[in-house]
Structure 1
């Protein structure tokens, strides 16, 4: 390899290792920071770029051509999925509607798929029926907003996946299982059963390995269409599945994830254990936001997630993303305002460059006269 090329390859690997170190420190300190996703993606893509430069620098066609073909194939698959995203979303919506209730929460992929299909027609109507200035503004601004949403959604998916990489030690004092609604008023749903079973497996494995049985807190209040609190129904289910009656506690007042964590923490604080070790169990798509909520109430606990049916995941992940956006709505509102001002500037710059030139000339003359 030539000297300059070798320098850039080494620089690329140095930058990659810096991104990895920054991500590692942040992730170790707090796994619920959203910026962990940014640092990881910087490491991830710089790693592949550095690897590509290293492979190209070998001048070995036996390596370059197969890797290049694999890279092109991956790009093709990504492009194909992107081009068919509306169809995939509508297909998922159809599956969900056959298996779940037709609620707003279960219709997000339907609305998003319809929006993607209609977006080109909406842009065409805007450009055809509005004056040029407003047409440009109402095209540029929404595009910036969409890119902003996609960026943070991708970042959220990254941190959600990273949060799943956790193997807790079997030394826990408490296992909190979060409720998820009952069917027929008093029966555990399949989705809720997955959460409980995940907690039971951890309970039994720890009991087998260490002989120390953690207390299981089943957290969930009573809904308007339920004949008993979720926490009590979950407790009965767990006892019927080989959890000791003295190890199963029911928290029956909570109605939200925040209250799940808050009221469960009160039970834990009443225990004689000085520094209790705690984990919580929920579905995998919910673990990240639940961990943020746990921190907000001062509960030191890490979550483990139970599996969720594949068809249910897209809507569930989108709901969680919307909930996190709403939690930081002030920040995002400020960014939307800044994007609008930036869009306004871009439109003026593109349509009235002579105005901008005059403003710059005026500013230059003002500075010269100081």
Structure 2
């Protein structure tokens, strides 16, 4: 009899804990979706078409994966094509390519710069941000290292809303132009899930943590010569 009562007690306790755990998970999921929607809605206010975007201090092209042979991923090529078109439209005469160059054997930014200089963009007009490891860091460094005040951000639509939100929270007069405006880029289910999590991170980074990027370093104003960022 006592064993049966003990079994019922343990079973009841496990049931209560499981129920509480499920309620907690549902609550956290709802909060996550709410934060994601808020970031998306706020960032969307500053997304405009390539012809309507106002002129700015700089066009900021956010990095993406570079293949082992140094060639560009489709996502990165998509962004660079869109950024180059805005440069040709005269929306800014300066470009920042910001990405991951934290290791000698992986380099997004020199590949990005080469794409632009191969299309006759002057090297002095292309600034490389070698420590743009995240969207938050790219925008923080644009403000503090390159002394940007007004920026046009280039990336895919799903990413752009978060980028515009972060930029505005950092005090930049930022406008986003989607790189898949002319060059469609498929959005996978993983992209969608990852972006929900990334928007939550962006919210807490800008509203709560407000951390400095991994590296800051020497100021290189956008008004100067982009060749000052060369490492090769």
**Is the Cα–Cα contact under 8 Å of residues 239 and 245 in structure 1 kept in the other structure?**
yes
Q: Paired residue for 1:192?
A: 76
Q: Paired residue for 2:56?
A: 172
Distance 2:67 2:154 in 1: 20
The Cα of 1:161 is off from its aligned counterpart by: 6.2
The Cα of 1:198 is off from its aligned counterpart by: 1.7
Structure 1 pair 310–146 and aligned structure 2 pair: CA distance change class (3 A):
farther
Contiguous gaps of at least 5 residues in structure 1: 1-127, 332-370
Q: Paired residue for 2:204?
A: 328
Q: Look up the SS of the partner of 1:191 in the other structure.
A: helix
**Is the Cα–Cα contact under 8 Å of residues 281 and 305 in structure 1 kept in the other structure?**
yes
**Is the Cα–Cα contact under 8 Å of residues 281 and 304 in structure 1 kept in the other structure?**
yes
Cα deviation 1:20-58 (Å, max 9, x = unaligned): xxxxxxxxxxxxxxxxxxxxxxxxxxxxxxxxxxxxxxx
Q: Paired residue for 2:220?
A: none
The Cα of 1:325 is off from its aligned counterpart by: 3.3
Structure 1 residue ranges, 4+ long, deviating more than 6 angstroms after superposition: none
The Cα of 1:159 is off from its aligned counterpart by: 4.8
Q: Paired residue for 2:154?
A: 281
Q: Look up the SS of the partner of 1:328 in the other structure.
A: helix
The Cα of 1:223 is off from its aligned counterpart by: 4.2
**Is the Cα–Cα contact under 8 Å of residues 100 and 109 in structure 2 kept in the other structure?**
yes
- Which residue of 291, 294, 313 corresponds with 2:167? 294
Q: Paired residue for 1:201?
A: 85
TM-score, normalised via structure 2 length: 0.65
| Correspondence 1:238 to 2:116 | yes
Backbone CA RMSD of aligned residues:
3.4
- Which residue of 159, 175, 182 corresponds with 2:66? 182
For residues 74-89 of structure 1, the aligned pairs below 5 Å read: none
- Which residue of 89, 103, 114 corresponds with 1:224? 103
Distance 2:120 2:136 in 1: 29
Decide which moves more: 293-302 or 245-254. 293-302
The Cα of 1:174 is off from its aligned counterpart by: 0.8
TM-score, normalised via structure 1 length: 0.44
For residues 22-101 of structure 1, the aligned pairs below 5 Å read: none
Q: Paired residues, what number?
A: 191
Distance 1:243 1:303 in 2: 21
| Correspondence 1:315 to 2:190 | yes
Distance 2:41 2:25 in 1: 24
Contiguous gaps of at least 5 residues in structure 2: 1-7, 208-232
Structure 1 pair 261–310 and aligned structure 2 pair: CA distance change class (3 A):
same
Larger relative contact order (C-alpha < 8 A, sep ≥ 6)?
A: 2
Tell me which structure has the larger Cα radius of gyration.
1
